[in-house]
């Protein structure tokens, strides 16, 4: 079985310091959190930027500062979000791709997202995929429910995304697919045969789905974007603490954890 790739989703667009006091918000805080997660065993950091007031931003300049600060500390794979917040325009969301990161997310469909709608038209998906391919950025295809896998397959069929593609199952978002074991098994069964995959379980689904992914040969995303708790009612002390748990579980189950360079080989970066 391939070594386990752990992604740390450090901040997200919805969580605030009122909810999680340890949330990294400034470029320095995000870079420090990325380094801590790297030391704990993460090989990818998934990054959402915030402005000086702590609000979600897709600013090229802010992402540039974050990327440079992280890369000065370690060789972890920096994966900016092109999802942003639900109110960002496609043009705003695409800005971090111009930094030519090794990877970036590409959301593969529209769904309800809590009380909002996360809009991703076919035109926008193809625009994102085209620009990523032009710049040599590998997309992580974000799928929140079954139909989004088909959208990802269409991008592959049109030659906009190269095979083998990498998918991320984001399961448990209110308004999209839930995060029960059978949900993950079904999603996994629908992938292209050569695809790699990660699962991001939201809230209480995080650790159970991560454990399943370790056993099934997939990869794992954890972090404050998806879950701010270590256990029921107990806030996690840091993103790194959540990474450390996955490393521990994976070792107990006999699966080694990938370094950033090993992750690059697995993902064909």
Record the pTM. 0.97
Look at residue 37 in the predicted model and tell me its pLDDT. Answer: 98
The CATH number that applies at residue 67 is 3.20.20.70
- Domain assignment present for residue 182? The answer is yes
The total number of structural domains in the chain stands at 1
Q: Parallel, antiparallel, or unpaired: how do β-strands 166-171 and 138-143 relate?
A: parallel
- Domain assignment present for residue 1? The answer is no
Look at residue 114 in the predicted model and tell me its pLDDT. Answer: 84
Look at residue 175 in the predicted model and tell me its pLDDT. Answer: 94
- Domain assignment present for residue 109? The answer is yes
Q: How many C-beta atoms surround the C-beta of residue 147 within 10 A?
A: 15
Range of the domain at 172: 6-266
Q: Give the pLDDT of the chain (269 residues) as one tens digit per residue.
A: 899 999 999 999 999 999 999 999 999 999 999 999 999 999 999 999 999 999 999 999 999 999 999 999 999 999 999 999 999 999 999 999 999 999 999 999 999 988 899 999 999 999 999 999 999 999 999 999 999 999 999 999 999 999 999 999 999 999 999 999 999 999 999 999 999 999 999 999 999 999 999 999 999 999 999 999 999 999 999 999 999 999 999 999 999 999 999 999 999 99
Ranges of beta strands (E only) in 22-83 are 44-47, 49-50, 56-57, 77-80
- Domain assignment present for residue 52? The answer is yes
Comparing CA positions, the residue from 3, 75, 6, 65 lying closest to residue 239 is: 6
- Domain assignment present for residue 175? The answer is yes
DSSP for 138-153 reads EEEEEESSHHHHHHHH
- Domain assignment present for residue 239? The answer is yes
């Amino acid at each position: 079985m391939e070594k386990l790739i752990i992604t740390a989703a450090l901040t997200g667009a919805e969580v605030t310091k009122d909810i999680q006091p340890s949330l990294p918000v400034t470029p320095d805080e995000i870079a420090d959190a990325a380094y801590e997660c790297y030391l704990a065993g993460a090989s990818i950091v998934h990054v959402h930027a915030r402005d000086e007031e702590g609000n979600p931003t897709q600013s090229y300049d802010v992402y540039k500062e974050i990327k440079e600060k992280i890369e000065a500390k370690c060789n972890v794979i920096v994966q900016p979000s092109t999802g942003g917040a639900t109110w960002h325009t496609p043009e705003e969301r695409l800005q971090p791709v111009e930094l030519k990161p090794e990877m970036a997310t590409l959301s593969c469909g529209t769904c309800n997202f809590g009380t909002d709608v996360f809009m991703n038209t076919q035109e926008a998906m193809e625009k994102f995929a085209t620009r990523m391919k032009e710049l040599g950025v590998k997309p992580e295809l974000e799928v929140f429910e079954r139909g989004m896998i088909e959208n990802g397959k269409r991008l592959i069929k049109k030659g906009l995304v190269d095979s083998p593609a990498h998918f991320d199952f984001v399961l448990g978002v209110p308004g999209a697919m839930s995060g029960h074991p059978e949900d993950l098994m079904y999603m996994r069964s629908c992938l292209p045969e050569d695809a790699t995959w990660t699962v991001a379980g939201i809230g209480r689904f995080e650790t159970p789905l991560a454990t399943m992914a370790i056993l099934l040969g997939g990869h794992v995303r954890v972090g404050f974007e998806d879950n701010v708790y270590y256990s029921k009612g107990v806030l996690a002390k840091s993103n790194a603490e959540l990474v450390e748990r996955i490393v521990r579980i994976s070792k107990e189950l006999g699966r080694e954890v990938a370094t950033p360079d090993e992750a690059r080989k697995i993902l064909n970066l």
